[in-house]
């Protein structure tokens, strides 16, 4: 077992001036499951391949445990990698596929058989050991690829989108299997995915990358509750956080007919940046509906019966009913602009298309970001 540290690790591909991975600083604890996530092209695979020794490091360094591995060949790093296409050898049995690396390493037959059988037991592959890969389902092939990594008892597992060849349902069950297997084996793991749900459900911690730059490293909970900037706020969470740019008024921001209070620290931080607006983030589940109805039949849920109802008027365009919950996709006028918003509603009382909802962000559940720099201003 081992820790992994990226220390300002940088990769600039030949012919490019912009680094694909730019001064990555990341420490993975012994036994930790760390997920690298971000949109396509953000540098996830490059980071993993640098750790594996498959890609040159042009600046900074990488350590596994106490060893500086920056310029070591892959075979000397004591890692095992699981790729997106499992690349099983089609002419070999499952057992031979799983034991192949050990055979190359000169391990004797009896020891190989023992390790393969142990791994097969863990992965529920015992009855398939004599089959060829083509006679297996996608999920079973994926487990053989995992088995090939496990038998090597490496210090670190590296996985690059290992589930992306599986259908949606199998992906969900397999991600649970991999996460629980990793916890049982306790082997430090760096796992790459572009799927934020996969990242949030599997990782002890999640590292978000964008354009080769690390945005935030945090536990899934903190990442969701306190995204460090606008990018992370919009990337983590499904449906995504609502982000609206609103003018700063006395002590808060104007949200339709309501003023949403903002902490003095956040307001003065915005002023320090010379901003007259802030970008407020509200997750779909953090709106309170204060009034709901379709024009004349409007029913007021608020005690306040003044003419203009409190909050922001949202016109319902689409309603997604998921059983327990419903999501309203609507639009509203915010800060003089048309804005699409998503509001979670009770699945048993969903509004109709064309109806108007008046919503206010729940107190204490708003996120405030600098409109100019995107960084988080609220705590």
Which residues in this chain contact ligand ATP in the complex, by CB under 6 A? 13, 16, 20, 38, 40-46, 194
Q: How many residues does the chain have?
A: 379
Q: Does 45 bind Mg ion (CB under 5 A)?
A: yes
Q: Does 46 sit near Mg ion (CB under 5 A)?
A: no
193 binds, among ligand ATP, Mg ion, none (CB under 5 to 8 A by kind): none
The CA-atom distances, in angstroms, between 95 and each of 92, 153, 207 are 8, 16, 35
**CA atoms of 251 and 246, how far apart (whole Å):** 13
- Distance separating alpha carbons of residues 255 and 291, to the nearest angstrom: 15
Q: Least distance (Å) from Mg ion to the CB of residue 49?
A: 9
Which single residue is written with the structure tokens 């600098």?
370
- In the complex with Mg ion, the residue whose CB is nearer, 4 or 21, is 21
Cβ closest to Mg ion, residue 37 vs residue 116? 37
CB atoms within 10 A of CB 354: 11
In the complex, least distance from residue 46 CB atom to ligand ATP, rounded to whole angstroms? 3
Of 54 and 319, nearer to Mg ion (C-beta) is 54
- Show the 3-state SS of 2-57: CCEEEEEEEECCCCCCCCCEEEEEEEECCCCEEEEECCCCCCHHHHHHHHHCCCCC
State the minimum distance, in angstroms, from the CB of residue 54 to ligand ATP.
Answer: 10
Instruction: Give the nearer residue to Mg ion in terms of CB position, either 45 or 216.
Output: 45
Residue with nearest beta carbon to Mg ion = 45
CA-to-CA dists, residue 233 to 53, 191, 225, angstroms: 32, 21, 9
Size of the site for Mg ion (CB under 5 A): 1
Instruction: Identify whether 216 is preceded by a cis peptide bond (ω within 30 of 0).
Output: no
In the complex, what is the shortest distance from the CB of residue 44 to Mg ion, in angstroms, rounded to a whole number?
5
CA 356 to chain CA mean position, Å: 33
Closest separation between CB of residue 219 and ligand ATP, Å? 22
Residue 47 binds Mg ion, judged by CB under 5 A: no
Query: Minimum CB separation from ligand ATP for residue 16, in Å?
Result: 6
* Binding span for Mg ion by CB under 5 A among 38-46, 102-110, 133-141, 299-307: 38-46
Of residues 13 and 100, the one with the C-beta less far from ligand ATP: 13
CB of 164 to Mg ion, least distance (A): 10
- Contacting range for Mg ion; rule: CB under 5 A; set: 43-51, 86-94, 223-231, 362-370: 43-51
Q: Which does 131 bind (CB under 5 to 8 A by kind): ligand ATP, Mg ion, none?
A: none
Which 89-108 positions form the footprint of Mg ion (CB under 5 A)?
A: none
Least distance in angstroms from the C-beta of 356 to ligand ATP: 40
Q: Give which of ligand ATP, Mg ion, none residue 376 binds (C-beta under 5 to 8 Å, depending on kind).
A: none
Decide whether 40 or 305 has the Cβ nearer to ligand ATP. 40
Spatial neighbors of 262 by CB under 8 A, at least 6 apart, are: 248, 251, 252, 253, 278, 280, 366, 368, 378
Side by side, the strands of the sheet bearing 67-68 are 21-28, 4-11, 59-64, 67-68
Which of 219, 154, 190 has the alpha carbon at shortest distance from 62?
Answer: 190
Which does residue 353 bind out of Mg ion, ligand ATP, none, counting CB within 5 to 8 angstroms by kind?
none
Beta bridge partners of 333: 338
Binding residues (CB under 5 A) for Mg ion: these are 45
């Amino acid at each position: 077992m081992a820790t992994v540290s990226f220390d300002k690790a940088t990769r600039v591909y030949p012919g490019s001036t912009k680094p694909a991975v730019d001064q990555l600083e990341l420490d993975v604890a012994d036994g930790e499951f760390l997920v690298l996530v971000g949109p396509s092209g953000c540098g996830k695979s490059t980071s993993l391949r640098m750790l594996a020794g498959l890609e040159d490091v042009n600046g900074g360094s990488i350590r596994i445990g106490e060893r500086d591995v920056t310029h070591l060949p892959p075979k000397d790093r004591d890692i095992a990698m699981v790729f997106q296409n499992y690349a099983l050898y089609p002419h070999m049995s499952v057992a031979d596929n799983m034991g192949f690396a050990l055979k190359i390493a000169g391990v004797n037959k009896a020891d190989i058989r023992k390790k393969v059988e142990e791994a097969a037991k863990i992965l529920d592959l015992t009855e398939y050991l004599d089959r060829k890969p083509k006679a297996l389902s996608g999920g079973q092939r994926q487990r053989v690829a995992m088995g090939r990594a496990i038998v090597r008892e490496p210090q670190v597992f590296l996985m690059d989108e290992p589930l992306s060849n599986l259908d949606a349902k199998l992906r969900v069950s397999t991600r649970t299997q991999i996460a629980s297997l990793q916890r049982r084996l306790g082997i430090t793991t760096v796992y790459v995915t572009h799927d934020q749900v996969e990242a949030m459900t599997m990782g002890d911690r999640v590292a978000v990358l964008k354009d080769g730059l690390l945005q935030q490293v945090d536990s899934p909970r903190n990442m969701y509750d306190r995204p460090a900037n606008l990018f992370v706020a919009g990337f983590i969470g499904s449906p995504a956080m609502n982000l609206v740019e609103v003018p700063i008024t006395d002590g808060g921001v104007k949200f339709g007919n309501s003023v949403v209070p903002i902490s003095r620290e956040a307001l003065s931080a915005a002023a320090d940046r010379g901003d007259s607006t802030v970008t407020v983030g509200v997750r779909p589940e953090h709106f309170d509906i204060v009034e709901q109805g379709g024009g004349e039949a409007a029913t007021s849920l608020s005690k306040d019966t003044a003419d203009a109802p409190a909050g922001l008027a949202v016109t319902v365009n689409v309603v997604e009913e998921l059983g327990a919950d419903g999501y309203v996709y609507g639009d509203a006028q915010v800060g003089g602009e048309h804005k699409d918003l998503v509001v979670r509603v009770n699945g048993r009382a969903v509004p109709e298309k064309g109806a108007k909802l008046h919503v206010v962000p729940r107190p204490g559940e708003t996120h405030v970001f600098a409109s100019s720099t995107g960084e988080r201003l609220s705590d």
